[in-house]
Structure 1
Amino acid sequence: LQKFLQDCQELSLWINEKMLTAQDMTYDEARNLHSKWLKHQAFMAELQSNKEWLDKIEKDGKALMAEKPETEAMVKEKLASLKVMWDDLESTTQTKAKCLFDANKAELFTQSCADLDKWLTGLDGQLQSDDFGKDLTSVNIMLKKQQMLESQVEVRQKEVEELQKQSQALSQEGKGSDEADGKRISVENKFQALLAPLKMRRDNLMASREIHQFNRDVEDEILWVEERLPLATSTDHGHNLQTVQLLIKKNQTLQKEIQGHQPRINDIMERSQFEEGIHLVWHKTVLLPDHNRP
């Protein structure tokens, strides 16, 4: 019961905190309507993701009532109170969306198109880069940046879809225009056109990492061999029984090391065939000048 009451208290405090945000109609830190819209979208997504919190408390409450019937009155009261608070929060959030944005759909639509277009231009510039890393460390850093870009693209994909909905809503209300919809179509086409270069850059970075990793592994193997070569090529055969036995023991140890290391060498040799293919593709797609590039 105490755990249930504590969970109810924590959710109640969280709802009260979010209600203050939902009631704030200014978003003073946002510079334009589009920025305000994005902040509000993120806020609504946060509410939706935390709906599971309320659902879990309701589930726990029902289980508690079944286990301890004497708590039914208190549990029902707490659940009802939380439900009312949650409904008020959702209602206030929807009202805020209507007050802030519904009356300015056309302006929001135009700003959203401009913001997306600017971002896509920046993305295009990043994808034009022919720097795929000079070593394993740098290419791994670039792959992390690539992952961030791809995550941003997923977010922007939702914005593109939202633009389609806004365009339909404006048309139904008679507030749409061919010029505005033309901007949306242009942004959508620009977005779709960058998906292939985005994937190609990831493929090139992955190929670059494979090559650098292979080169590092080969260097490690060369070092491993060089460290053991003096013992393997030594002409010292011992001057007495004790030294001969010691050399025999060292030789046996070396043979075991070589035998145990053989799978590693085999792996390098197998990968060398694969890396040769990567090098050929890399040479054709990356290293050779692209005469078709503007």
Structure 2
Amino acid sequence: MNKNIILLLRISCFCVLIGRAYQFIFWDAPFRTLLWDQKLIEPLINLLGYSWKEYANSLRIDSLIKLSIKLNGIFFFISAFLVLFSNNKSKNWMKTIIWLSGISLIILALLQTKEKFYHLAMFFEHSIQFSLPFLLIYFTKTNNYLSFTWYLKTIIALTFTCHGLYAIGCIYPLPANFVTMSLNTLPLTETQVKYFLFIAGILDFIIAIGIFIPKLYKPILMYAIFWGSITAIARIASGLTYDVSINIFHQYLYQTIYRVPHGIAPIILLYLTIKYSSFISPQNNILSSDLDCNK
């Protein structure tokens, strides 16, 4: 088993889970996008003998929603530290918690998708984040470099493609926060920022395609590492343009933390494709499970 890959996977999972724990415990989560959806929830509320008005205006219900968010944050916090010790000898209960953390991240992505009018790109833009706990368990169990590499390529391609779909502003509206972050961190006008984001979106598509092309993957992955890291750092950097204070760090830091894996995932893939290229090449018939993983 390659210790470097495991270490990077652990760090990535930790960042996603601790970032979400930070968000849920201190800020908020989109639980209300489901729980305050009148069309979906009102029939259930009526069956329980309450009117929608009683439910929607209940301070007790709102307190329970806030409590459920914080409890979920505590669960992410516990899971974040468990992934640091995950290996092929981990107890079943530990693996179960890590699996459940991945499922919770999928549910979160679904809620964010619903909040954004069911944009599929919103869901798949979180592919790296919600896939990492499952990939950590899978790789520590199987050491299968071939399938792991293809899974990693797929989630990176999905994340960057969906980010690009938003950046070009054609299929989906250009997010206002993309424009705001760019204006706050770059010496550009609003019009120039829109051109910049359009080009960045095209480059996202090139990343998604290029990582599957053997002769292109090295420079493509180097750029993916840079761009994935910069877009994560941009969250806190943009906030610091308003004020350099503890409150600003507190408000924006978690958004950077859970996006750090967008830069680490391409590092893992680059490491794999360089070190084990003879084993993970599609032209090679040797399965990675036959590889001596201690080499």
Whether TM-score is above 0.5 comes out as no
Q: Which has the larger radius of gyration?
A: 1
Larger relative helix fraction: 1
- Give the TM-score normalised by the residue count of structure 2: 0.27
